[in-house]
Amino acid sequence: MIDLRSDTVTKPSPEMREVIAKAAVGDDVYGEDPSVNLLEEESARLLGKEAGLFIPSGTMGNLAAMLTHCERGSEIILGDKAHTFLYEVGGIAALGGIQAHILPNQQDGTLGLEDIRKAIRMDDIHDPPTRLITLENTHNRCGGVALTGEYTRQVGEIAKERQLKFHLDGARIFNAAAALKVNPAELVEPADSVMFCLSKGLGAPVGSVLCGEAAFIKRTRKTRKMLGGGMRQAGMIAAAGLYALEKNLPLLIQDHQRAADLARGLGGIEGLTLEHEKPPTNMVYINLARELLLNAEETAIKLKDKGVLVGITGERQFRMVVHIWINDQDVEKVIQAFKDVLS
């Protein structure tokens, strides 16, 4: 089965499994797991931050950051297509008493700078105080687009001017860096905190890392514990993360190339239209023409019979995410499967 539903479906390679089996471990809650400590240090170094914190999931990483930055009754600014708003079960409200101030995401994944400025609320007795601005890079529901360092700096300047905190959901920040051909630290420099996932394109089985100033990470370590994220002998999965950063990170650009090949092939099939003629990173969003009798769900069932799994993101829309387990032959098979199903 060729699984393009997400890059979360990646599995550890035999080489990664060997590293996992040999990992040095200790008790991470006591700060005594050498593999976890090394992963946190390496992650912070890659992103130009003072410290890192190993966390079970990206959702918990975003939540822990926001709970640490904000007090109950405060407000955060984020986009209407942000992962935190759409897919994180309302955690900031349910667990943090934090209100979301939703702004429209532009097609390029950004929030309008003037929209951000107008959304900030501080002094009126009737208003919840704004405490945090958050962006997502790459932006999933905007087609996997990469936000530039220049735009991120502009948002950082607004946050600094208004004495707000700035969090970056960088689940796929290394995909953004590969697409823009820049150092990832350049893309996250203005942010007070940034979370990235090891279990997506990097191919590790589990885990994310939250990075920021040492004092912030120290506070968030307690927040992680409160959320049930304190892990014990976590060195085995941390070792997988270290392997991913060393061996799999350089391979992300291949995923982008295969996504481009997939888009080019699908774009030539009658009845299919691409959201982006050339995918920005490793995601291909594609729409079914209205004149086709099949909708997305029916098409997905037929594709599954052909050995292809796709993500349904609308009545007539798919998302396909290319990852480390997809090769050139798989891309050709997916294109042929669409041709067969829609012929």
Contacts of 68 (CB under 8 A, 6+ apart): 193, 216, 219, 220, 223
d(C-alpha 313, C-alpha 140), whole Å: 11
Domain assignment of residue 45, yes or no: yes
DSSP label at 220?
A: H
For residues 179 and 126, state if they share a domain.
yes
Count of structural domains, the chain = 2
- At residue 134, the pLDDT reads 98
CATH number at residue 207: 3.40.640.10
d(C-alpha 191, C-alpha 48), whole Å: 11
d(C-alpha 180, C-alpha 3), whole Å: 26
Domain assignment of residue 260, yes or no: yes
CATH number at residue 313: 3.90.1150.10
For residues 226 and 265, state if they share a domain.
no
Domain assignment of residue 329, yes or no: yes
- At residue 277, the pLDDT reads 85
For residues 25 and 71, state if they share a domain.
yes
Query: Exposed e or buried b for every residue in 163-175, given b needs 16+ CB within 10 A?
Result: ebbbbbbbbbbbb
For residues 162 and 291, state if they share a domain.
no
Domain assignment of residue 197, yes or no: yes
For residues 298 and 170, state if they share a domain.
no
Number of Cβ within a 10 Å radius of residue 270:
10
For residues 78 and 218, state if they share a domain.
yes
For residues 20 and 158, state if they share a domain.
yes
pTM of the prediction?
0.95
- Domain holding 190, by residue range, is 8-247
Question: Mapping DSSP to helix (H, G, I), strand (E, B) and coil, where does residue 285 land?
Answer: strand
For residues 299 and 218, state if they share a domain.
no
For residues 62 and 210, state if they share a domain.
yes
Strand partners, 319: 285, 311
Domain assignment of residue 3, yes or no: no
Contacts of 157 (CB under 8 A, 6+ apart): 190
Domain assignment of residue 2, yes or no: no
- At residue 20, the pLDDT reads 97
Torsion sign over Cα 32, 35, 39, 41: positive
For residues 286 and 225, state if they share a domain.
no
Q: Taking a C-beta distance cutoff of 8 angstroms, is the pair 10, 325 a contact?
A: yes
Instruction: Report the relative pairing of strands 75-79 and 130-136 from DSSP bridges.
Output: parallel
For residues 274 and 242, state if they share a domain.
no
What are the pLDDT tens digits along the chain (343 aa)?
999 999 999 999 999 999 999 999 999 999 999 999 999 999 999 999 999 999 999 999 999 999 999 999 999 999 999 999 999 999 999 999 999 999 999 999 999 999 999 999 988 999 999 999 999 999 999 999 999 999 999 999 999 999 999 999 999 999 999 999 999 999 999 999 999 999 999 999 999 999 999 999 999 999 999 999 999 999 999 999 999 999 999 999 999 999 999 999 999 999 999 988 899 999 999 999 998 889 999 999 999 999 999 999 999 999 999 999 999 999 999 999 999 999 8
